[in-house]
């Protein structure tokens, strides 16, 4: 079993009991999650501030970067792109698994799995790696779909930036199960527990300009998420 080796930047300081050290668990979470939140540092008029945006992503555990590669893509005109290339970025992936209702406000919590990856993004220039990464992003949404699509045009590829982030500097936290209350609060007899949450899919909806013969990959994906 490979273990994560966090640096000081990714060492879990609060709630260290919730830290997850196995790389396989990180990869499982990244496989489950559909979106990530990308954080970049923007400098404007000499002042810095963070910007956090939801992004699609994909992972190649055997990618060329240390620890494997997390791929992001975006429009070459996106405002965050320049910021993402001149300083380190943070990609955070969170799956919310439940609401935890304790006897005290203080012990209320949420069940979740969350991964934080920090590092310097690499602009992917190699045409083969770019195609591979973009296929992975489509297949992350709907496994198998990229093989059913026409090739991207030169114009589409020219409008698309692909970034690669090493998975080397990563940490993961998880909370699961019910509330943890103080014994004196348990003794009051107040109810406590949790509400499990999950993401579900409804059946695929065909586009107005499409026929209704939903392909197998899309049906499988919707069924798997249902």
Write out the binding residues for a copy of itself, residues 190-209 only, by CB under 8 A: 190-202, 204-209
Which listed residue (18, 28, 160, 174) binds a copy of itself by CB under 8 A? 160
Which listed residue (23, 130, 132, 221) binds a copy of itself by CB under 8 A? 221
Q: Which of 1/202 has CB closer to a copy of itself? A: 202
- What residues form DSSP beta bridges with 190? none
60 binds a copy of itself (CB under 8 A): no
Number of other residues whose CB lies within 10 A of the CB of residue 213: 6
Considering only residues 118 to 147 of the shown chain, the ones binding a copy of itself according to CB under 8 A are 118, 134-135, 137-138, 141-142, 145-146
**Among 59, 10, 6, residue whose Cα is nearest residue 34:** 59
Q: Least CB distance from residue 66 to a copy of itself, whole Å?
A: 17
> Are the CB atoms for 146 and 5 separated by under 8 Å?
no
Instruction: Check residue 69 and report its DSSP letter.
Output: E
Q: Which of 2/136 has CB closer to a copy of itself? A: 136
Distance CA 153, CA 174 (A): 41
Distance CA 64, CA 61 (A): 9
Which listed residue (19, 27, 53, 85) binds a copy of itself by CB under 8 A? 53
Q: Which of 19/41 has CB closer to a copy of itself? A: 41
Distance CA 185, CA 66 (A): 47
**Among 137, 131, 128, residue whose Cα is nearest residue 150:** 131
Q: Which of 8/127 has CB closer to a copy of itself? A: 8
Structure tokens at 87: 């300083």
Distance CA 207, CA 167 (A): 37
Considering only residues 70 to 99 of the shown chain, the ones binding a copy of itself according to CB under 8 A are 74-75, 77-79, 87-92, 94, 96, 99
Interface pattern 13-52 for a copy of itself (x via CB under 8 A): xx-------------------xx-xxxxxx-x--xxxxxx
66 binds a copy of itself (CB under 8 A): no
Q: Least CB distance from residue 1 to a copy of itself, whole Å?
A: 26
Structure tokens at 144: 């198998």
Q: What is each CA distance from 153 to 76, 131, 163, in whole angstroms?
A: 15, 11, 19
- With CB under 8 A, what is the number of residues at the site for a copy of itself? 98
Considering only residues 98 to 117 of the shown chain, the ones binding a copy of itself according to CB under 8 A are 99, 101, 103-106, 108, 110, 112, 114, 116
């Amino acid at each position: 079993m490979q273990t994560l080796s966090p640096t000081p930047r990714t060492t879990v300081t609060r709630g260290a009991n919730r830290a997850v050290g196995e790389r396989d668990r990180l990869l499982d979470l990244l496989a489950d999650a559909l979106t990530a939140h990308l954080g970049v540092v923007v400098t404007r008029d000499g002042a810095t501030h963070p910007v956090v945006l939801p992004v699609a992503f994909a992972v190649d555990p055997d990618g060329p970067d240390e620890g494997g590669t997390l791929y992001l893509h975006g429009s070459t005109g996106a405002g965050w792109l320049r910021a993402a290339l001149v300083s380190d970025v943070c990609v955070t992936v969170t799956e919310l698994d439940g609401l935890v209702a304790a006897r005290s406000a203080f012990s209320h919590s949420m069940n979740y799995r969350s991964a934080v990856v920090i590092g310097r993004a690499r602009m992917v220039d190699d045409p083969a790696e770019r195609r591979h990464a973009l296929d992975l992003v489509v297949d992350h949404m709907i496994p198998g779909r990229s093989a059913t699509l026409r090739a991207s045009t030169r114009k589409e590829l020219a409008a698309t930036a692909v970034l690669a982030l090493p998975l080397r500097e990563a940490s993961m936290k998880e909370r699961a199960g019910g509330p943890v209350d103080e014994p004196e609060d348990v003794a009051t007899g107040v109810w406590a527990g949790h509400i499990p949450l999950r993401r579900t899919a409804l059946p695929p909806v065909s586009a107005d300009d499409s026929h209704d013969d939903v392909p197998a990959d899309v049906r499988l994906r919707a069924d798997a998420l249902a």
